Amino acid sequence: MPFNLLKYGLSSEYPVEVDLPPPCELEPRYDVVIIGGGGHGLATAYYLAKYHGVTNVAVLEKSYLGSGNTARNTAVIRSNYLTSEGVRFYAESVKLFQNLSNEFDFNIMYSERGQLTLAHTDATVRAFRQRAEVNKHFGGRTEMIDRQQIRELVPTLNLDPGHLPVLAGLWHMDGATARHDAVAWGYAKQAAKLGVQIHPLTEVQDLVIEHGRITAVKTNRGTVQCGCAVQAIAGYSSLLMAKAGIRAPIHSYPLQAMVTQPFKPFLDPLVSSSALHCYVQQTGRGEVVIGGGSDPYPLYNTRSTLELKEGLLAHAIEMFPFLANARLMRQWAGITDMTPDYSPIMGLSPVENYYLDAGWGTWGFKATPICGKTMAELVASGGKTPALIKPFALDRFSTFQQVNEMGATAASH
Amino acid sequence: MKIMPCPLNGPRNISEFTYGGELKQMPDPASCSDAEWADYVFNSDNRAGVVTEWWMHTASSYWFLAERHTVSDQIIRTFDPKELFNRRIEFSAPATETPA
């Protein structure tokens, strides 16, 4: 044994695997420039290289990989939305997530625990019936459950919080969680292996648009020519779109979340209540993640407010009274690009070869794989929008064809 | 605690207020195109910087305007809407064609 150890120690081939190649110089031109090195941008690059053989691709990230909302979401994966367009899209994403660890040969810690949403009013119960049926129709696993079943599933849950007794639950068995950083790293690693160039610390400062086409992007490391460009950023979507001369139906609000000290495992499913504007889940490390709705007014700042924390925690304690003794370990915020109908903006833009992946509000992480796959298809085909994302086009707002997901999104990630 | 200086009620906790969106110029609904109307209804500048926006003191239902920096969250000025809306607007019904 010691000899083996010595052999490894002296061998130049050990350690064998490097996850990401060291950063290199920017080339003067790429076929595809992807702005934003989060989950969405890296996934788009990966699928472009994997399925379409497009490898002359650069992913430009202003900070480090996955440093934006990829690292700030609460890592919920689910497909129990309301509209057929939404469910079809997110259900495909859940399917891709299930196989990602194998595909990457990299553990994204995918954990299928199920998601439980609570109804406190008759109106919510009716909406749940619809969501259960729509979800089943598109191949998801969702059903309505009663108080007794909820009690068995989550014994620590208080079924009679204040004036809002729990009437029923929407039990979404496909609900899951995963390590969000690992998703970005997995895509980055595999994309780099296929020849995609990844450039952290490269901020896109301006877009060069001539005759309705994008020809180059200006970065803090110089100007890069491009055959086409994909915008895959979050928090500042509308500001970048404005640089391309595109008006956006986006308002940016901070969303605050927090994590408690670790506890012994007590909570298997992800539990959410839209009436209490609160969702609670326990991570693999035992910490309890608590999140809620966005702030009450727009802001480009990830500061934290005591007021929102107090309100959110009051509701979390209503749901799980023993949390009253918990200590908070961390709190943070992310800037969410909210659209009027709570659906993303994907696909073509008024600039011919500039593709949009924007307006991801509070529903971006769960769509990472399908978003990358469909955006890659769009880019590789030179602008033929895949059927799955047609309903999310920017022009749905001028043709009044919104995809309303508000009821299935607000504070119930 | 964040304080909003209300032109009517003085400095109050910001949780007493409701955000009402950016101040926008409304196109004439009788003559503008669908695209112009959609732009007015849905799109916004969403600027990172000083913006002028509507706020309401919820308890007194009083609407006013605020100039706020959307990065630092600093409220620079609040004022009564009559500073901008100082002329009477006539809402005359569009002329209807008489059936032949």
- Report how many helices (DSSP H) and strands (DSSP E) chain B contains, helices first: 1, 6
Backbone angles phi, psi at A191, to 5 degrees: -65, -45
Given a cut of 50, the residues of chain A with pLDDT beneath it are: 411-413
Does the beta-carbon distance from B39 to A398 stay under 8 Å? yes
Residue A326 in any domain: the answer is yes
Residue A156 in any domain: the answer is yes
Q: Are the CB atoms for A118 and A169 separated by under 8 Å?
A: yes
Distance from CA of A251 to the nearest CA of B (A): 6
Specify the CATH number for the domain of residue A40: 3.50.50.60
Q: Are the CB atoms for A46 and A34 separated by under 8 Å?
A: no
Q: Are residues A54 and A112 in the same domain?
A: no
Site from A237, A246, A256, A300 to mutate, B interface, most B CB atoms within 10 angstroms:
A300
Distance from CA of A400 to the nearest CA of B (A): 8
- Can you give the pTM of this predicted structure? 0.93
Among chain B residues, CA nearest to A251: B46
- Say how many C-beta atoms besides its own lie within 10 A of residue A385's C-beta: 18
Q: Are residues A259 and A308 in the same domain?
A: yes
pLDDT value of position B99:
61
Specify the DSSP class assigned to residue A308.
Answer: H
Upstream peptide bond of A28 is cis (omega within 30 degrees of 0): no
pLDDT value of position A23:
87
Q: Which of A376, A389, A384 is nearest to A191 (CA)?
A: A376
Nearest CB neighbour to B42, from listed A297, A307, A397? A397
Token match 């605050």: residue? A256
- From residue A396, give the alpha-carbon distance in Å to each of A249, A345, A404: 11, 9, 11
Chain B partners within 8 Å of A236 (Cβ): 48
DSSP chain B: --EEEETTTEEEEGGGEEEEEE--PPP-TTTS-HHHHHHHHH-B---SSEEEEEEEETTTTEEEEEEEETTT--EEEEE-GGGT--S----PPPPPPPP-
Q: What pLDDT digit, counting tens, does each position of A88-124 carry?
A: 999 999 999 999 999 999 999 999 999 999 999 999 9
CA atoms within 13 A on the CB side of A194: 24
Domain's final residue, options A336, A366, A386: A336
Measured CB to CB, residues of chain B less than 8 Å from chain A are 1-2, 15, 18-19, 34-35, 38-39, 42-46, 48, 70-73
pLDDT value of position A413:
45
Chain A partners within 8 Å of B42 (Cβ): 249, 340, 397
Does the beta-carbon distance from B43 to A303 stay under 8 Å? no
Does the beta-carbon distance from B71 to A303 stay under 8 Å? no
Q: Which of A349, A339, A337, A401 is nearest to A378 (CA)?
A: A349
Helices assigned H by DSSP within A30-179: 39-52, 84-98, 100-104, 122-137, 147-153
Specify the DSSP class assigned to residue B92.
Answer: P
Position B94 confidence tier, pLDDT thresholds 50, 70, 90 = low
Taken in order of first residue, the domains within chain B and their CATH numbers are 3-82 (3.30.2270.10)
Mean pLDDT along residues B73-100: 83
Q: Is A65 helix (H, G, I), strand (E, B) or coil?
A: coil
Residue A296 in any domain: the answer is yes
pLDDT value of position B96:
64
Q: What pLDDT digit, counting tens, does each position of B29-65 carry?
A: 889 999 999 999 999 999 999 999 999 999 999 999 9
Specify the CATH number for the domain of residue A169: 3.30.9.10
Does the beta-carbon distance from A249 to B71 stay under 8 Å? no
Q: Exposed (0-12), middle (13-18) or buried (19+): which is A263, by Cβ within 10 Å?
A: middle
Domain's final residue, options A279, A309, A336: A336
What domain count does chain A have? Answer: 2
Residue B86: partners with Cβ closer than 8 Å, 6 or more residues away: none
